Structure 1
Amino acid sequence: MHELDLRGIDLNLLLLLNALIEQRNVTWAADRMHMSQPAMSRALARIRKLMNDPILVRGGDGLMPTPRAIALHPQLKRLLNDITHLISDVPFSPQLLTGCITLAATDHEMIVFLPKLMSLITQDAPQLDVMVIPLFNIAAECLHDGSIDLAFGVAQATLPSYLCQELLYKDTYITLMRRQHPAGNCLSVEQFSTLNHVQVTAVGNSGGSAVDIALDKLGLHRRIVLQLPSFITAFAVVAASDLVVTLPASIAQRYAIQSDLVAIATPIDCPPINHISIWSRVRDADPANQWLRKLVREVASRVES
């Protein structure tokens, strides 16, 4: 195999390559790197020659990275991060952090984590901004390349090898209903299955939940009258009707009293809900990401479920 001579390569091209892949636009990449658009176009031509790959090609929505560009991007991010730490002699301090971090979370995790997490972030890193986006299937791709710093979700399947995860806390289910509900506040599993239910589909998937799977094993079925993407709306609907909703205790108990709802034990045996944080291996050794995960761990230790 021919050995590559690094002395003949401008390593600054790696920085420009990263900007091009992330921005998917030559002009935007040039602005990010504080250079002119023609200069970035010339750099792209050099990168294409070096990599023997187009890197960016025309697509339906403008420029799109090639399969090779997508494959090398996580390794490129890790390499640039390692170089930064290698030559930096300034100890990490969250007080010096600027810019914006991106979190991906379900409605549930936003409610449970965000208030206390933001309090800690603004204390430790007052110059740092935070963007929170909904956790949908596309988040896994964004986590892969490191454009999302941290995601929160429920452990449901084995994650790809390029992602890391940490168990934050375990949760259980409880059922909420309005006061003076005709069913009373102590239900058998048969009675539970005959009620009209609200289901919160927090991640945009209306497939069978753990509750429905447990009922199916007993040969029972419940009617889901209303599916919603929002917990807050579910509380309002249940308070004004004879519908009931079964939710993780960590969020249900927070709002039962203020929504004037009664919390009762869910009369079926469901496995615990494992709430996890997820991040890219690209960011695993990043001190800023480690600091963020430490704050999340601190908030999770206080969650009541």
Structure 2
Amino acid sequence: MKNLDLNHLIDLDALLSEGSVAGAARRLNLSAPAMSRRLAHLRHALGDPLFVQAGRGLVPTQRALDLRERVRTLIEEVRSILAPPDIELAHVERTFTLRTSDGVIGTWAAALCARLLELAPGITLRFVLRPKKSMEALRSGEVDLDLGVLDGDAPEIKTQTLLRAQFMGVVRADHPLARLENINVERFIAWPHVNASRRGVADGPIDHALAAVNAKRRVALVVPSFQAAMAMAMSSDFIAAIPEPFARWSAHSSQLHIFALPVVTPQVSIAMSWHPRHDTEPVHRWLREQIRQTTASVFKPTGGAG
């Protein structure tokens, strides 16, 4: 039985099911001569004629009859392995670990969880904070999805951009700047600033843009997340800079005023990342789609998805 592969099993199954070369050829969309050559190969490999002449037709040998059910079972088993599994989301029991910042958790986690409770109530989300950019937690399986500002990558890690946005200025609703229609550079740098940085750095794209026009702001406070920066802006004279969708969403439910920055800064990308071993996994892929749809629904992003 040398040089046999799955294709030969498919050929044998077609011959045994149809009982003729012509029928098997039609089933496999082959010509009759091509099917005859495949039958000749099977006969040689199995050491049995498989079909013998009986009048004008062919009848299976005993070996062929003995193989028919076994071959059919094997083919069905292979197809069940290779076919995409049917997922009954209502019966899925699983916990996913999502690594992100508290700002992302606070803004849309409730909407995502409401969606999952309706569609797949057995799925539990476990959020952990993003203290650093390392992708090792994705590689090890400690984390299923990484969510947040796209600020680094790893060669094998899969990434999808959920939204792209400009930074906006944020101050409390009764801040003196909230009464102004136009906030120029001079007014912008006249007040203390709070900078959101997971790495604890005080400068960033805004400072680079200000330097280009010979201006400098006073960063008096550095916090680890956008959520913390907005909280400080809401309760003090500080100015915070937040990606526009987060700022606009938060302004609906808090005493915040948002305004366009007086300098142009690069867009920030909010993305989700995962290890390629989960790329085609049905439930993981379904969860990624729910995250994408929830982001689009909550933030109504103006940028495209990558």
The TM-score bracket by the shorter chain reads 0.5 to 0.7
Aligned to 1:103: 98
Paired AA for residue 107 in structure 2: V
* Counterpart position of 1:304: 300
Give deviations 1:108-162, integer Å, cap 9, x for gaps.
22123311111111122211221100112265101112331111122223x2122
Say if 2:236 is the partner of 1:241.
yes
Contact 2:102-2:227 at 8 Å conserved across structures: no
- Check 1:214–1:113 CA distance in 2 against 1; reply closer, same or farther (3 A cut): same
* 1:266-293 C-alpha deviation (Å, 9 max, x unpaired): 1110111111110001111111111111
Contact residue 200 and residue 230 of structure 1 kept, 8 A: yes
Whether 2:266 is the aligned partner of 1:264: answer no
Aligned counterpart, 1:5: none
Matching residue within 161, 170, 176 for 1:176? 170
Question: Which of 224, 249, 257 matches 1:229?
Answer: 224
Identity %, equivalent residues: 23
Asked if the contact 2:195/2:203 (under 8 Å) is kept, the reply is no
Q: Is 2:159 the partner of 1:165?
A: yes
Look up the match of 1:135: 130
C-alpha separation between the residues in 2 aligned to 1:110 and 1:292? 16
Residue 237 of structure 1: how far off its partner (Å): 3.0
Look up the match of 2:116.
121
Aligned to 1:7: none
Counterpart-to-counterpart distance in 2, 1:124 and 1:139 = 32
Larger displacement relative to structure 2 (227-236 or 100-109):
227-236
| Cα shift at 1:248 | 1.1
Alpha-carbon shift at residue 180 of structure 1 (Å) = 4.4
Contact 1:235–1:259, Cα closer than 8 Å, also in 2: no
3-state SS, counterpart of residue 268 of structure 1: coil
Equivalent residue letter for 2:86:
P
List aligned pairs for 1:1-305, cutoff 5 A: 86=81, 91-137=86-132, 139-157=134-152, 159-183=153-177, 184-185=179-180, 186-201=182-197, 203-206=198-201, 208-302=203-297, 303-305=299-301
* 1:66-117 deviation per Cα after TM superposition (whole angstroms, max 9, x unaligned): xxxxxxxxxxxxxxxxx9x938985123222213110011122212331111
- Give secondary structure in 2 for the equivalent of 1:301: helix
Name the CA distance, whole Å, in 2 between partners of 1:277 and 1:234.
22
Question: Given the two structures, how large is their TM-score scaled by the length of structure 1?
Answer: 0.65
Given residue 187 of structure 1, which amino acid in structure 2 is its aligned partner?
I
RMSD of equivalent CA atoms: 2.5
C-alpha deviations, 1:222-262, integer Å up to 9, x for none?
Answer: 11112223544433432333221111121222233543222
- Structure 2 partner of 1:32: none
Runs of 5+ in structure 1 lacking a partner?
1-82
Q: Which amino acid aligns with 1:189?
A: V
- Contact 2:93–2:122 (CA under 8 A) maintained in structure 1: yes
Deviations 1:138-194 (A, max 9, x none): 65101112331111122223x212200011111121112234434452211232123
Q: Distance in 2 between matches of 1:242 and 1:220?
A: 20
Cα distance in 1, alignment partners of residues 243 and 82 from structure 2: 46
The total of aligned residue pairs comes to: 220
Task: Give the number of the structure whose alpha-carbon radius of gyration is greater.
Answer: 2
SS in 2 for 1:270: coil
Long gaps (5+) in structure 2: 1-77, 302-306
Contact 1:198-1:244 at 8 Å conserved across structures: yes
